[in-house]
Amino acid sequence: MYHYALRRLSSTQDAEDVAAEVYVVALETRWHPSLEPRPWLLGVARRKVADRLRLRLRRPEAPLQEAHELPCATASPEADALRAEAVATIRALVRALPELQREALLLQTAEELSVKEIAQVMGKSVSAVNSLLGRARETLRLKGGSYFQEDGR
């Protein structure tokens, strides 16, 4: 829950708050055994993230720079610079995707959910999710060029 919220909100504090809220909802709600727990929890997280994003629109805050990744050891400063440039480009391309495409792609790649689980989380049909993922990958291939392999990852 935390990593999903962090990717969507880009704030460790907000991500921690959302993760805590999700688990409070999980404890207070009667979970139905026919539902898979992970997609159900991510659905709750999705709604909590949407609430936070709406709140930000009403009360914008000054963005803070946060470090989300530990530095990795590479062979040279040039390699570090190239990696940083590639990461920034890919993040910008993903952020530019339409909201539903971006969300479906993040759920598949970052949260490693199946298409069926993504459909549950997003409240969409499996074919709608496949369509969202296909359009997202195609957009990334067209705009990202060499950053994306043929399979869209």
Q: Report how far residue 77's alpha carbon sits from residue 46's, in angstroms, rounded to the nearest whole number.
A: 38
| C-alpha to C-alpha distances, 19 to 47, 74, 82, nearest whole angstrom | 12, 33, 33
**One domain, residues 116 and 138:** yes
| pTM exceeding the 0.85 threshold for the entire prediction | no
The last residue of one of the domains, among 44, 65, 86, is 65
How many beta carbons lie within 10 A of that of residue 51, not counting itself? 12
pLDDT in tens, 16-48: 999 999 988 888 887 677 778 888 888 899 999
The domain tally of the chain equals 2
**One domain, residues 61 and 78:** no
Q: Report how far residue 53's alpha carbon sits from residue 117's, in angstroms, rounded to the nearest whole number.
A: 23
Please name the residue that has the structure tokens 């610079």.
Answer: 81
Give how far the C-alpha of residue 44 lies from the chain's centroid of Cα atoms, to the nearest Å: 14
pLDDT, residue 147, reads 67
Any idea how long the chain is?
A: 153
Q: What would the mean pLDDT of 71-98 be, rounded to a whole number?
A: 79
pLDDT, residue 130, reads 97
pLDDT higher than threshold 90 for residue 57: no
Domain limits at 45?
A: 1-65
Among 65, 49, 21, smallest CA distance to 107 is for 49
pLDDT in tens, 58-73: 876 555 444 455 555 5
pLDDT, residue 61, reads 58
